Copies of this chain bind each other. A is one copy, B any other.
Amino acid sequence: MQVTDLVTPALIVEADTLDQNLSTMAKALPGSRLRPHIKAHKCTELAKRQAELGSRGFTCATIREMEGMAAAGLGDDLLLANEVVDARRLGALDARVTVAVDSPETIAAAEAGGVREVLIDVNVGLPRCGCRPDDAARLADLARSRGLEVRGVMGYEGHLMMVDDGAERAERVAESMSDLVRAHERVGGGILSAGGTGTFDCNLAATEIQAGSYALMDTAYDHLQLPFEPALFILATVISVSEKFAVADCGLKSMGMDHGNPRIDGAKVWFCSDEHVTFSSHSPSEAPAAPVRVGDRIRVVPAHVDPTIAYHERLHIVSGEDVIDSWPVDLRGW
């Protein structure tokens, strides 16, 4: 199949760039040093490539992701890095399941649901889940008293992923992790799980890094000079052209908008509607540009990969003009 045969809008992934991103990370964080987060791609076929490169443990954000990974034979060591108040579907999985807990209620849920292993989730500065560092040991004791195995701690320094300056980022990550290290000393267990694509090389405290975005990359990371390149694009078809603007058939239902408008190289994006993107039909500088014509295929770069993929049924893997594979986005929903 050729790229021109795809029904648009369609997600296309550059095979070479994906391979390069995956192997670069596997070399930097071999084996159990990396616990890839699969929430960004939601695709077991892509996770299988990560497994082939040495990752046996994976990170998930939802129960559905955990179920899909287990069903795909990738259940050697699955971490749900998120809190749940009903863990019964997790307890029923034919997989090694660890769940994050940060309260007596989530510990009770793990026990009641038949989950055997937990990590104590510690807040390291991002206003989201996680207990206070001082409460970690108490929660670990509680979990053990309920018969749960406490494998260690986790904490996500998400508020530091986008710190521009590398040295400052490293310094602030170390500071953030010092809380987690102290909690870990009191909690025990072999795991200190943390980090992400923005801190994969400067989080030196973690025993494992939960990076996910590196595989397909987000434009939000552009300024960080990371060794990963954007691999995901939305293929769209130009359906209408006027004197000043043109319209292609991808819109709000084919891309996440929390980071703003997508990018179209050589054009200025005016706005998005449900199924349309309106963009300048001439380059922003108004210099002569290749005219856009009805029927042209264009590449649109989404501002945020994760909520973009969650709208789509498939990732089409392309090499030049060939579609060499088509992978279901099989971990959507909850």
Binding site for B on A (CB under 8 A): 7-10, 39, 61-63, 82-85, 102-103, 105-106, 123, 127-130, 132, 158, 237, 239-242, 244-245, 247, 249, 252-254, 256-258, 270-276, 278, 293-295, 304, 306-307, 310-313, 333-334
Contact = CB atoms under 8 A, between A and B. Distances in A.
A270 B126 CA distance: 12
A311 to B, nearest CB: 6
A237 to B, nearest CB: 6
A6 B158 CA distance: 30
A238 to B, nearest CB: 8
Contact of A275 (B62, B245, B270): B62
Contacts of A273: 128, 158
A334 B7 contact: yes
A270 B130 CA distance: 16
Contact of A258 (B129, B257, B306): B257
Contacts of A276: 82, 128-129
Given A252-B256, A257-B258, A274 B240 contact: no
Copies of this protein chain in the complex: 2
Nearest to A212: B274
Greatest chain B CB density within 10 A among A123, A240, A244, A256 is at A240
B306 A274 contact: yes
A239 B166 CA distance: 33
A158 B312 CA distance: 26
A85 B295 contact: yes
B129 A239 contact: yes
B85 A239 contact: yes
24 contacts: A39-B275, A61-B275, A83-B240, A84-B239, A85-B239, A102-B240, A103-B241, A103-B294, A105-B293, A106-B240, A106-B294, A127-B270, A127-B278, A128-B247, A128-B278, A129-B239, A158-B273, A252-B258, A252-B306, A253-B256, A257-B307, A258-B272, A274-B306, A312-B333
A9 B97 CA distance: 22
Contacts of A312: 333
Contact of A253 (B7, B63, B310): B310
Contacts of A85: 237, 239, 294-295
Contacts of A334: 7-10, 254
A8 B7 CA distance: 32
Contacts of A82: 239, 249, 275-276
Nearest to A242: B123
A315 B245 CA distance: 37
Contacts of A105: 293-295
Contacts of A310: 253, 311
A58 to B, nearest CB: 16
Nearest to A333: B313
Contact of A257 (B10, B257, B274): B257
B106 A239 contact: yes
Nearest to A257: B258
Nearest to A256: B252
Contacts of A62: 275
